[in-house]
Each structure stands twice: as C-alpha cells, then as structure tokens.
Structure 1
Amino acid sequence: MANHPPGSEQLVAYFEGNITDAATRAAIESYIAADTEPQKIEAAMQQAWKNLPEPAIPAAPADWDKFRMIAGIRQPKTGFIRPMLAAAATLLLLASLGTFYFISHSMQPAQAIVWQEVSAGPRELRKVQLADGSTLTLFPGSVIRYNNLYNEKTREIRLQGRAYFDVAAVANKPFLVTTGHYTTQVLGTSFDIAERTEEKTIRIVLVSGKVRLLNGRRQPVSDLQPNQQLTLHTGNAQYNILPVAAQSTISWTSGRLSYDQVTLEEVCRELAAWYGTTIKIQRKDLGTKRITADFERMPLPTVMHILSETAGFTYREVADKIELY
C-alpha cells in the first residue's frame, strides 16, 4: 500500500472494522487524511453504512444525511471539507455497535489517537518505563513510537534502530514490537532487537522467555528460545537461527560494547550510531575483517586507535566523518 492507494473493497473493510493489521490501518488512515480522493472515500463509507447490521430501531431515509452532517462530511459546490478521519472513526464505531440508534440519540466523539515518540541521542542510553510496567533501553540513535491506546487491549511499539526490552507479563495483552514489515510478539520476556536498514536485516536475541516473529500479515515466521539469535533478511524473507551468549549481546545496555568475531563493517556501523558520527571504510577488504574487542565508556579517538592497531588500518577525520584506509 506504500506505493498505491487502497482499493474500494479494502476501504469498505476498514470502515466495517475488518482491517486488523496495524500497519495496513495506519496506511489507510494516512490515505484518508490526505483527502486526495474524497468521492471514493465517501462511496466506500456509504457502502459500509449500507452493510451495517439491521438496528433495533430502523434508520430513517434521512439518517445517512444526518450522519454526514454530524461527521463533517459536507459536499457543497466548493468540494469536501477535510474531517474524513473523524467520520471514519464514527462509522467504525457504528459498525461495532451494529445500530444507528446510538448516533440518533447519544453520539459521542471518537477517541483521538495521539502518538508519542522517544529517541536516544549520541552516546545516550535512553531508559523508558511503560504504563504496563515494562521497561526498555534505547540504543543511541534509535527511536520508538507508541500511542495513547497502549495497554488497553494490546501493547504495541514501533521501533527504528535497536532496543532492549524487559516485558512485564500481562494476561490477554500481547506485547508487539514492529520493525519495518515484521513484528515480534511476546508475553513476558526480555530480548534485544535491532533493525539494520543498510543491511536489510532484523536481528532478535532472546535473553529469557519466548518470542515469536510475525510477518507483515501477522503470520508466524518462527519462535525463539533463550540464548538464540534470529537474523532475518528483509529483502528475501530468509532467516537463520544461531545459538549465542545472550547476556554478552546486551552488554551495551550498561555502556559496554562487546564484539566477538564481528566484521569491522558491522562494528563501524554500530560505533557510528553510538557516537553520532559517520565512519566510512575506503578499502573493501577491511570491512570483512573479524574483530574481537570490548569498549567500555571510552572516547571515540581511543576506540579508533585500538581498532586500527587490532585490524591493521589507518584512519583520518575529514569534515565530521572518519575514513578508514
């Protein structure tokens, strides 16, 4: 849907409350808010209106017009007025109630969805306490988003970058972390998840409990057990699972960057995010060199000096970036 608008059938399904995928709902709501095809949107709403279950008190012929006025869908000669999302929320509410009696007698405004964004700056380990008792630590340069419906029926977080989660167990409220088109589902557990857009990979390391990776349609991909690492290649949906020392992979949450036979390319990418800079490898053979090292709260020049001695390269700072040769 990112490259084309939703079809009429998908719009009708949305207004009927039958779109359960959060990413699809968000894309449809963005399309509605853009208001580029108002006639198409109203036609879908009217079809969803006709599909409502028969109410206890039958709707009068003028009720559709009354609904349009209450929801702000007016169509004078100058064209549409914009509050289509409010109308969509109203129609979804009617679909869930299955009756027009509600709108005729006691219409209540739909709850607005308000998003909150939390980010971590360079060298900042941002710790976040969530309403359900869960906690998370953001890797420098990472961002999470969640809305005011968090912890009502589900607990859903959208992540860009990397974060460590310690999830409180709450019955009947699954915890979901969405990265790109994939979602990690948990009940009560602790795990590390990293989205690497440059590599087109998502990496999940499970420390305790159990997690399940879901694809864009919220279908299961694989389950993970403690001390396992799943690496998913988002370009072709291929993945592998390897045993790891999970506690070592989350040492960054206490300020220590630990690497065990990791490529220099991956180390530099992580250091760039950690210190908020750009590191460019100019020699292709350098990137594949394997590094084993620990850096705990060291300034970047010290880290680069140790790396250069270990991997056998020279480096220089050029216009706010570091180049390796």
Structure 2
Amino acid sequence: MKELIEKYLEGHASAGEQMRLLKWIRNKENRIVFNSSRLGWNKSQQNKPLPEGSEKSWLNIQDQMLQKSFKRWQYSDKVNLMVRIAAIFFFVLSLGGGAYIVSTTKKTEVWYSEIEAENGQISKVKLPDGSMVWLNSGSKISYNNMFAANNRDVILEGEAYFEVQTNEDLSFVVNSGEIQVKVHGTKFNVEAYPGSENIDVVLESGKVQLLSPKVASFQYFLSPGEKASFVKSNHQLNISEVNTGKYTSWKDGMLNIYNQPLAEVVKRLEKRYNQEFEYAEELKDFRFTFTIKNEPLDEIITIMEKIAPIETYQQNNVVVFTLNQKKNRELSR
C-alpha cells in the first residue's frame, strides 16, 4: 500500500484508488502505518522546492481531504449499515406482516350457533359430534363453528340434560358461568338459570369433573347418583346423594316435585307452563310432593289446593297463591 499512499499524498490517486485506501485505513493498525508513511513523505518533501508557506498549506489540504474523505466514507458506511439494518428489519417486518396476513386470511372466522327452548317447551337437539341435548323451558345453549373439529365446548343458560358421545381426544365442556363441567362420555343434568342462587349438576352415569374458570385449584369429581350444588354467593360446593330420576325426568315430560317448598315449586311451574306466579310470604315454606306428566295447569293447581291450605285467583296474567284461612284453621285443630 506504500505506493498508493504516496500517490494519494501527491494528489495523483484516482477516486477508485482513494476509496480503496480509505477502506484500508478503516483498520486501526493500518491508520498507524498510513500516518507513519505520511510523516516519512513529509520529510522527503523538505528538500523539494515549494513556495513559501506552501508546505503547511499542502499538509492542511491533505488533512482536510483525508478528513472529508474519511467522514464521507464513515457516513456512506453508516448509511450502508442503516440500509442493511433497514432491509433486514423490513424483511422481518414483511415476514411478520406476511405471517399475520396469512394467519388472518387463513384463520377460520368464528361464529356461534344458538339453540333455545321457548318458554313452556322442551327441545331436543343432536349436536355435530352426535351428543344429544334436552333443553328445558326458557333455556339455551350455544357453540361455535369449530365444535367437534378442535373443541366440544358449549355455553349453557338454563337447564339441560346431556348424553355425551365419547371422544378421548376432545373433552366435552359445559360452561355455565361460575362452573365448568368437563366430561368425556356420560349422562348428566345441569341447571344454571341466570339469577338463580345455585348451579346444580346431577350425574346419572359416567364421570364428570367440576372446574372453576376463576379458581384454578377448584375441582371435584362427581360420581353417579351424586348432586353437586354450587352456591354462587360464597362459592361453596355441597354434595349429596339423590334419586337422579327426580332431576332428569323433566326431559321425558315428567316433573317430579318431592317435598319441595312452594317457592321452589313455583319456579318449576313457571318454567313448565310459562306462567307467572305470586304468593304470600307466609306460604313460601309449605311443602309439596306430586308428579306432573301432561296434566294441564288448572289440574295441578287443584291438586296443590288439596295438599295445602291455599287458594288461588288470577290477577291480570298472574296466578296468585293466598292462604285459605278456613282450611288452615281446620288443619291446625
């Protein structure tokens, strides 16, 4: 590089040769060699005739040229580096953007199907995976279009009886707000009406796992013949052994009332007959036991009046239960 350095210092180096030199002095050790060569060249010029003051001017010019050239090289190198970085960033961004576009364009649009049983009606439906669901009056379930493909999740509002097809790869999950019921293949009933204090799960056969979407540590495995009653207010879970038929026979058109207070009986009658009821506070704890098959509502009311000291009348569209004072006195004797 000695000849190129001298050529540069003499001002005879072409633009290409200057760029070659500038690239070479990027290295710190090469800059030391360059400075040493420049000092040697300056000494060799002392015996050459130069106009007065021209040597200093020439050296300044050379330094300025070198400085400007080096700055231009630094700037161009930075620009090239920035361009390379920008290109890499743009490629990554483009790749990410491309992946996003692909994912959004290829991503399956999700929508939900909803099935609802009208008030006073019981609906039976077969889900895409072959599972059967009975919906009690005023109840509904929904599931998305990926059901049976990559999930078997349903959302329940109200009461439903399930006969779930076995699928070891996809668990069947019933979401009812505070409680999730996870199963593989089984028969069970879930009652989770909005506004109700409890969520009740009755297992007829198989095995289900109760989970909470809010509390990771919460879980309980229900056994056949057991009823789980989850209290929403305090998150307490009560387990009891029951005659499951009393809780599941509604799907066959039967309504079993067994030693239940009037407050609970009224709720069941409202769902079954799509009829609004009111009752005096003093009657709420009167208990009833009877079975409804296809009897009309007026016959059911007659039966209730025979069982307890109550009487009814209709006010607009509401059936009102009141205390039959005469009969109550007779029963009290």
Q: TM-score, normalised by structure 2?
A: 0.66
**Which residue in 1 is equivalent to 2:201?**
204
Could you tell me which of 243, 246, 249 is aligned with 2:247?
249
Q: Alpha-carbon deviation of 1:64?
A: 8.5
Q: Alpha-carbon deviation of 1:63?
A: 6.4
1:59, 1:100 within 8 Å by CA — same for their partners in 2? no
Structure 1 unaligned blocks of 5 or more: 1-57, 68-98
Instruction: Specify the code of the residue in structure 1 equivalent to 2:160.
Output: A
**Which residue in 2 is equivalent to 1:235?**
233
Q: 1:310 to 1:151 in 2, by over 3 A?
A: same
Matched residues, number: 236
Q: Alpha-carbon deviation of 1:301?
A: 1.3
1:314, 1:324 within 8 Å by CA — same for their partners in 2? yes
2:157, 2:194 within 8 Å by CA — same for their partners in 1? no
1:171 aligns with 2:199: no
User: Identity over the aligned pairs, expressed in percent?
Assistant: 27
Q: Secondary structure at the match of 1:291?
A: strand
Q: Which has the larger radius of gyration?
A: 2
Q: Secondary structure at the match of 1:113?
A: coil
Q: Alpha-carbon deviation of 1:173?
A: 0.5
Superposed counterparts of 1:262-273, under 5 Å:
262-273=260-271
1:61 aligns with 2:67: no
Q: Secondary structure at the match of 1:266?
A: helix
**Which residue in 2 is equivalent to 1:306?**
303
1:193 aligns with 2:221: no
**Which residue in 2 is equivalent to 1:276?**
274
Q: Secondary structure at the match of 1:308?
A: helix
State the alpha-carbon separation in 1 of the partners of residues 176 and 101 from structure 2. Answer: 42
Q: TM-score, normalised by structure 1?
A: 0.67
Question: Which structure is higher in RCO with an 8 Å CA cutoff and minimum separation 6?
Answer: 1
State the alpha-carbon separation in 2 of the partners of residues 311 and 145 from structure 1. Answer: 41
Superposed counterparts of 1:11-160, under 5 Å:
60-62=88-90, 102-103=99-100, 108-160=105-157
State the alpha-carbon separation in 2 of the partners of residues 125 and 104 from structure 1. Answer: 45
Q: 1:290 to 1:170 in 2, by over 3 A?
A: same
**Which residue in 2 is equivalent to 1:75?**
none
1:206, 1:224 within 8 Å by CA — same for their partners in 2? yes
State the alpha-carbon separation in 2 of the partners of residues 134 and 107 from structure 1. Answer: 31
State the alpha-carbon separation in 2 of the partners of residues 176 and 238 from structure 1. Answer: 21
State the alpha-carbon separation in 1 of the partners of residues 213 and 142 from structure 2. Answer: 18
1:183, 1:218 within 8 Å by CA — same for their partners in 2? no
State the alpha-carbon separation in 1 of the partners of residues 319 and 120 from structure 2. Answer: 17
Could you tell me which of 295, 298, 316 is aligned with 1:319?
316
Could you tell me which of 210, 214, 223 is aligned with 1:213?
210
Q: 1:167 to 1:64 in 2, by over 3 A?
A: same
Q: Alpha-carbon deviation of 1:153?
A: 2.3
State the alpha-carbon separation in 2 of the partners of residues 261 and 167 from structure 1. Answer: 31
Instruction: Specify the code of the residue in structure 2 equivalent to 1:269.
Output: K
Q: Alpha-carbon deviation of 1:107?
A: 6.7
1:119, 1:138 within 8 Å by CA — same for their partners in 2? yes
Structure 2 unaligned blocks of 5 or more: 1-85, 323-333
Could you tell me which of 255, 258, 262 is aligned with 2:256?
258
Q: 1:66 to 1:315 in 2, by over 3 A?
A: farther
Q: Alpha-carbon deviation of 1:108?
A: 3.0
**Which residue in 2 is equivalent to 1:72?**
none
State the alpha-carbon separation in 2 of the partners of residues 142 and 104 from structure 1. Answer: 39
Q: Deviations over 1:195-250 (max 9, x none)?
A: 14344210010000011111123634311100111111011101211110112321
More helix by share: 2
Q: 1:106 to 1:266 in 2, by over 3 A?
A: closer
**Which residue in 1 is equivalent to 2:72?**
none
State the alpha-carbon separation in 2 of the partners of residues 64 and 311 from structure 1. Answer: 78
Q: Secondary structure at the match of 1:61?
A: helix
